[in-house]
Structure 1
Amino acid sequence: MAPEGSLREAWEQIPSPGRLGQGLESFAGRRIERLIAIAVGVGALALGAQALVAALSTLRFVDFPHIGTMLLVFVPWVAMLVACAVGRGVRWAAGTFTLAYILVLILWPFVAVHSVAVPNHQPWIFFLVNVAGVAAVAAFPLLVQVLWALGGPLLYGLVRLAQGDFQREFWVTTAFDVSFTLILGLVLVTLGWMFRSVAAGVDDARGRAVASYTEAAATAAREQERVAVAALMHDSVLAALISAERAGTERQRDLAVAMAREALTRLANAEADDAQEGSDDPVSVERIADDLRHALVELDADAELDQFGHGAVPDHVARAVALAARQAIGNAVTHAGGRGLAIAVEGHGDTGITVKVSDTGGGFDAEQVGPDRLGIRASILARMTAVGGVATIESDGHGTIVTLGWSRP
Structure 2
Amino acid sequence: MSADQGLREAWEKIPTPGEVGQELERFAGRRMERIIAIVVGVGALALGTQALVNALVKMTVPDLPHLAMLSLVFVPWLVMLFCCVIGRGVRVAAGVFFFAYILVLALWPFVASRGPAVMPSDQPWIFFLVNVAGVAAVVAFPLRVQVTWALIGPFLYGAVRLYQGRFRPDFWIVTAFDVSFTLILGLVLVALGWMFRSVATGVDDARGRAVALYTEAASIEAVEHERVAVAALMHDSVLAALIAAERAETQRERDLAVEMAREALTRLANAESPAQEGSDEPVQIELIAEDLRLTVTQLGVHAEVEHYGHGAVPDRVARAMALAARQAIGNAVTHASGRGLAIVVEGHGDTGLTVKVSDTGAGFDTSAVRPDRLGIRASILARMAAVGGVATIESDRRGTVVTLGWSQS
TM-score normalised by length of structure 2? 0.67
Q: Distance in 1 between matches of 2:183 and 2:294?
A: 61
Count how many residue pairs are aligned between Structure 1 and Structure 2: 321
Match of 1:56 in 2: 56
Are 2:374 and 1:378 equivalent residues in the alignment? yes
In the TM superposition, what is the alpha-carbon distance from 1:243 to its structure 2 partner? 3.9
Q: Distance in 1 between matches of 2:324 and 2:189?
A: 65
Q: Can you give the 5+ residue segments of structure 2 that lack an aligned partner in the other structure?
A: 1-13, 278-291, 297-301, 305-322, 343-357, 363-371, 386-392, 403-409
**Contact kept? 1:301, 1:333, Cα under 8 Å:** no
Q: Distance in 2 between matches of 1:384 and 1:178?
A: 75
Match of 1:39 in 2: 39
Once superposed, which parts of structure 1, at least 4 consecutive aligned residues long, lie more than 6 Å away? 295-298, 323-326, 381-387, 399-404
Match of 1:96 in 2: 96
Match of 1:164 in 2: 165
In the TM superposition, what is the alpha-carbon distance from 1:125 to its structure 2 partner? 0.7
Tell me whether 220-229 or 31-40 shows the greater mean CA deviation. Answer: 31-40
1:267-282 aligned at under 5 Å gives the runs: 267=268
**Contact kept? 2:162, 2:175, Cα under 8 Å:** yes
Match of 2:29 in 1: 29
Using a 3 Å threshold, how does the CA distance of structure 1 residues 103 and 231 change in structure 2: closer, same or farther?
same
**Contact kept? 2:229, 2:271, Cα under 8 Å:** no
Match of 1:141 in 2: 142
Match of 2:237 in 1: 236
Match of 1:67 in 2: 67
Q: Distance in 1 between matches of 2:72 and 2:379?
A: 76
In the TM superposition, what is the alpha-carbon distance from 1:338 to its structure 2 partner? 3.0
In the TM superposition, what is the alpha-carbon distance from 1:403 to its structure 2 partner? 12
**Contact kept? 2:147, 2:190, Cα under 8 Å:** yes
Match of 1:118 in 2: 119
Using a 3 Å threshold, how does the CA distance of structure 1 residues 385 and 158 change in structure 2: closer, same or farther?
closer
Match of 1:257 in 2: 258
Match of 2:299 in 1: none
TM-score normalised by length of structure 1? 0.67
Amino acid at match of 2:225: Q
Using a 3 Å threshold, how does the CA distance of structure 1 residues 301 and 190 change in structure 2: closer, same or farther?
closer
Match of 1:279 in 2: none
Q: Distance in 2 between matches of 1:385 and 1:88?
A: 51
Q: Can you give the 5+ residue segments of structure 1 that lack an aligned partner in the other structure?
A: 1-13, 277-294, 303-322, 343-355, 361-375, 392-398, 405-409
Using a 3 Å threshold, how does the CA distance of structure 1 residues 203 and 298 change in structure 2: closer, same or farther?
closer
Match of 1:330 in 2: 330
Tell me whether 59-68 or 206-215 shows the greater mean CA deviation. Answer: 59-68
**Contact kept? 1:164, 1:170, Cα under 8 Å:** yes
Q: Distance in 2 between matches of 1:53 and 1:325?
A: 69
Tell me whether 42-51 or 18-27 shows the greater mean CA deviation. Answer: 18-27
1:242-391 aligned at under 5 Å gives the runs: 243-244=244-245, 247=248, 249-267=250-268, 299=296, 300-301=302-303, 327=327, 330-333=330-333, 337-339=337-339, 359=361, 377-380=373-376
**Contact kept? 1:84, 1:90, Cα under 8 Å:** yes
Match of 1:191 in 2: 192
Match of 1:395 in 2: none
Amino acid at match of 1:104: V
The structure number with the bigger radius of gyration is 1
**Contact kept? 2:48, 2:129, Cα under 8 Å:** yes
In the TM superposition, what is the alpha-carbon distance from 1:37 to its structure 2 partner? 1.1
Q: Residue 22 of structure 2 aligns to a residue in which SS?
A: coil
Q: Distance in 2 between matches of 1:86 and 1:403?
A: 53
Q: Distance in 1 between matches of 2:80 and 2:214?
A: 41
Q: Distance in 1 between matches of 2:229 and 2:187?
A: 62
Q: Residue 211 of structure 2 aligns to a residue in which SS?
A: helix
Q: Distance in 1 between matches of 2:91 and 2:130?
A: 18
Amino acid at match of 2:72: L
In the TM superposition, what is the alpha-carbon distance from 1:378 to its structure 2 partner? 3.2
**Contact kept? 2:20, 2:208, Cα under 8 Å:** no
TM-superposition CA deviations, 1:212-271 (whole Å, max 9, x none): 111001100110011112212222124324544664542232121221233245446757
**Contact kept? 2:340, 2:359, Cα under 8 Å:** no
Match of 1:78 in 2: 78
Q: Distance in 1 between matches of 2:380 and 2:255?
A: 18
**Contact kept? 2:162, 2:171, Cα under 8 Å:** yes
